[in-house]
């Protein structure tokens, strides 16, 4: 909100104020950048000089006090500390023994021999012979090193150097930048006032004339002899004004002709509207006829379902009775004929069921029953249906169930079984040797998959594009050899799409095929309140 108000305030400022403000901001930015650069450079130079000075002092001071430190001549160490401490740059000077205990502190006039160890002293005692530690603090640089006699550590020394000169120099640069910035700001304001007048005066004139033209006076023009951008703008404005006047004259003439054309077109449109009304009435009649035809089709399908299945079930029933109850009364030739009747009857029943299911799907009359079912029992029922057929063809069928699947899934178990039965029937039909696998797995938290794989004849790449179309098989040879209507995969596809899933095929000729169905995973939830 605040940013929007500031932006609107800037937009509403006069052009001269905007130019002055922007130029002054640019000057201040340049001055600030130069100041920051100078401060940064001075700080880096000073820090380097202070580190060099501390390093030099730590290279000479240990040579001065090494013998006194080794012999623990505290008074002489105090004298050296006082001499060094008189330097106004030195803010700290401490001498430690070989255990890191404080012996001498330049800030105390008396010796401190016998004091307990300090962390600083202990850290310095452990340094290598030539190692120097530099530590920057807010107001000083603390440096230190160990002191050795041969390979023996006999103590350590720490020295602090003040950073106040740097702070004073930074304050001076800041004051200098402030003075330069103020001067530049004042000069910039004066120059921008003059420049703004030179720019805004002709623009104000242009604004005034534009307002008069908007009020209806099309004869006003800009009178400016300069050839700068403002002068070119005035010339362009004059050209635009001439063009507007010419366009208005043309529009008046065009409007007169347009009124006549509109009247003619209105009459034609009225005729078209009357024709469309007649067409809409015809479409309504056609729509009603189509709805009646759909209803008749549905009634026909219901009637055919009963009329075809009833006698066919009787044929299948009597065939089973002949094969099961009276097989001893039939000779081998008669038994073979009855078995053919039974198999052909089953094939015909499957074709009728497929056609009726496909018709229901296309008519949108297929209803899914969403109920929880146990995946293990559902898969076992499928396996019992196909074990006998697999043994007849000497095929091995493997059923795999993912342990990650929930115990119960909510869905239409009957239609899901129909999907797998169609895929498994195709797999066994087109596989003469090898194996068929049904793999039920959990894809992720929201989906599960059913994959039916075989080692059969495979599907050519070009045929995979239409394999799910109705009444389509790979070729006529397959249809004659293996039979079928070509509806199984079309029903599978339509059922899967109705359930909100997808189906895809991956196949290589001579190696086999894999049909993978991916469906939404709906787990059974316990809604009972504890």
DSSP 3-state assignment of 383? helix
Determine the Cα–Cα distance for residues 103 and 97; give it in Å rounded to an integer. Answer: 6
Residue with tokens 């703004």: 196
Q: Which residue has the higher pLDDT, 32 or 349?
A: 32
Residue in the block written with tokens 């006999």: 154
- Sign of the CA dihedral with 322 first, then 324, 325, and 326 last: positive
d(CA 70, CA 83) in angstroms, rounded, equals 20
Residues 132-153 have a mean pLDDT of: 87
Residue 458 token pair: 């495979």
Task: Give Rg (Cα) of the chain.
Answer: 50
**Within the chain, what is the greatest distance between any pair of CA atoms?**
136
Query: Residue ranges of the alpha helices (H) in 228-331?
Result: 229-325
Q: State yes or no: pLDDT of 355 exceeds 90.
A: no
- Average pLDDT (343-365) is 64
Does residue 375 contact residue 440 with C-beta atoms inside 8 Å?
yes
- In this predicted structure, what is the pLDDT of residue 497? 92
Q: Which two tokens stand for residue 302?
A: 């219901």
| Pick from 68-72, 303-307, 394-398: least confident | 303-307
Beta carbons within 10 angstroms of residue 425's beta carbon: 17
Check residue 431 and give its pLDDT: 92
Averaged pLDDT of the chain:
79
How many angstroms separate the Cα of 364 from the Cα of each of 140, 361, 410, 420, 494?
87, 5, 22, 22, 11
Is residue 105 a contact partner of residue 91, using CB atoms and an 8 Å limit?
Answer: no
Q: What is the pLDDT of residues 480-511, one digit of tens each?
A: 455 555 677 888 898 999 899 999 999 999 89
19 neighbors 192 (Cβ within 8 angstroms): yes
E strands within 8-139? 90-97, 102-105, 133-136
CA distance 196 to 194: 5
**Cβ contact 414:353 at 8 Å:** no
| φ and ψ of 90, to 5 deg | -85, 120
Give the pair of three-digit tokens for residue 394: 């000497």
Eight-class DSSP state of 99: T
Cα gap 335→329, rounded to integer Å: 9
CB neighbourhood size of 59 (10 A): 12
Lookup: tokens for 291? 């709805």
The arithmetic mean of pLDDT across residues 284-288, rounded, is 84
Quick one: how far is CA 501 from the chain centroid?
Answer: 24
Q: CA 237 to CA 209: how far, in whole Å?
A: 10
Q: Check whether 85 has a pLDDT greater than 60.
A: yes
* Mean pLDDT computed over 71-86: 82
pLDDT at 312 exceeding the cut of 50: yes
Q: Yes or no: say if 475 and 485 are a contact pair by the CB < 8 Å rule.
A: no
The position carrying tokens 């044929």 is 315
Q: Among all chains, which residue has been given the structure tokens 């052009």?
A: 15
**Mean local confidence (pLDDT), 328-349:** 72
Please report how the helices 413-429 and 488-498 are oriented relative to each other, as an axis angle in degrees rounded to 10. Answer: 150
Of residues 105 and 167, more confidently modeled: 105
Contact predicate 411/499, CB 8 Å: yes
- Residue 143 burial class via C-beta count within 10 angstroms: exposed 0-12, middle 13-18, buried 19 and up: buried
pTM for the full predicted model: 0.41
Beta carbons of 483 and 353 less than 8 angstroms apart = no
pLDDT-above-70 percentage for the chain: 76
Torsion of CA 146, 148, 153, 157, to 10 degrees: -30
Q: 144 vs 242, which has greater pLDDT?
A: 144
> Does position 331 have pLDDT exceeding 90, yes or no?
no
Q: Which residue has the higher pLDDT, 350 or 487?
A: 487
Kindly state the average pLDDT of the residues 52-78: 84
> Is the Cβ–Cβ distance between 250 and 260 less than 8 Å?
no
For 172-191, the pLDDT digits (tens) are: 777 777 777 677 778 767 77
Both tokens of residue 412? 């239409």
Beta-sheet strand order (sheet of 435-442): 396-401, 435-442, 447-454, 512-520, 502-508
End-to-end CA distance of the chain: 50
The three-class DSSP label of residue 447 is strand
């Amino acid at each position: 909100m605040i940013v929007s108000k500031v932006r609107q305030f800037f937009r509403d400022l006069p052009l001269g104020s905007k130019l002055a403000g922007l130029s002054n901001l640019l000057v201040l930015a340049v001055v600030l950048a130069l100041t920051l650069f100078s401060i940064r450079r001075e700080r880096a130079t000073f820090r380097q000089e202070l580190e060099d000075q501390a390093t030099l002092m730590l290279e000479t001071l240990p040579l001065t006090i090494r013998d006194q430190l080794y012999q623990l001549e505290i008074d002489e160490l105090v004298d050296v500390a006082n001499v060094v401490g008189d330097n106004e740059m030195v803010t700290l000077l401490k001498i430690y023994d070989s255990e890191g205990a404080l012996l001498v502190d330049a800030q105390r006039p008396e010796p401190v021999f016998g004091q307990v160890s300090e962390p600083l002293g202990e850290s310095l005692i452990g340094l290598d012979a030539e190692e120097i530690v530099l530590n920057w603090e807010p107001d000083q640089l603390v440096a230190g090193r160990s002191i050795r006699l041969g390979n023996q550590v006999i103590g350590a020394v720490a020295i602090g150097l003040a950073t106040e000169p740097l702070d004073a120099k930074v304050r001076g640069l800041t004051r200098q930048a402030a003075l330069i910035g103020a001067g530049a700001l004042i000069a910039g304001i004066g120059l921008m006032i003059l420049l703004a007048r030179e720019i805004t005066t002709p623009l104000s004139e242009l604004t005034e004339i534009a307002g008069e033209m908007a009020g209806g006076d099309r004869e006003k023009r800009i009178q400016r002899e300069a050839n700068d951008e403002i002068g070119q703008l005035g010339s362009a404005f004059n050209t635009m004004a001439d063009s507007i006047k010419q366009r208005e004259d043309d529009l008046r003439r065009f409007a007169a002709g347009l009124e006549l054309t509109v009247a003619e077109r209105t009459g034609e449109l009225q005729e078209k509207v009357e024709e469309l009304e007649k067409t809409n009435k015809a479409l309504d009649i056609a729509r009603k006829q189509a709805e009646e035809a759909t209803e008749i089709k549905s009634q026909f399908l219901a009637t055919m379902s009963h009329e075809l299945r009833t006698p066919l079930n009787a044929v299948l029933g009597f065939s089973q009775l002949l094969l099961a109850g009276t097989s001893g009364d039939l000779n081998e030739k008669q038994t073979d004929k009855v078995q053919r009747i039974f198999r052909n009857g089953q094939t015909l029943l499957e074709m009728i069921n497929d056609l009726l299911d496909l018709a229901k799907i296309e008519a949108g009359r297929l209803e899914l029953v969403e109920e929880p079912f146990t995946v293990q029992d559902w898969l076992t029922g499928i396996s019992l249906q196909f074990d006998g057929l697999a043994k007849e063809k000497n095929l091995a069928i493997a059923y795999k169930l993912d342990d990650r699947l929930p115990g119960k899934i909510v869905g239409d178990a009957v239609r899901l079984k129909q999907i797998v039965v169609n895929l498994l029937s195709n797999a066994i039909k087109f596989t003469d040797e090898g194996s068929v696998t049904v793999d039920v797995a959990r894809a992720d938290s929201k989906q599960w998959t059913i994959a039916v794989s075989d080692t059969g004849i495979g599907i050519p790449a070009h045929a995979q594009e239409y394999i799910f179309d109705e009444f389509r098989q790979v070729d006529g040879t397959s249809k004659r050899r293996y039979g079928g209507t070509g509806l199984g995969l079309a029903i599978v596809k339509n059922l899967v799409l109705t359930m909100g899933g997808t189906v895809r095929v991956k196949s290589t000729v001579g190696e086999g095929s894999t049909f993978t169905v991916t469906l939404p995973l709906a787990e059974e939830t316990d809604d009972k309140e504890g």
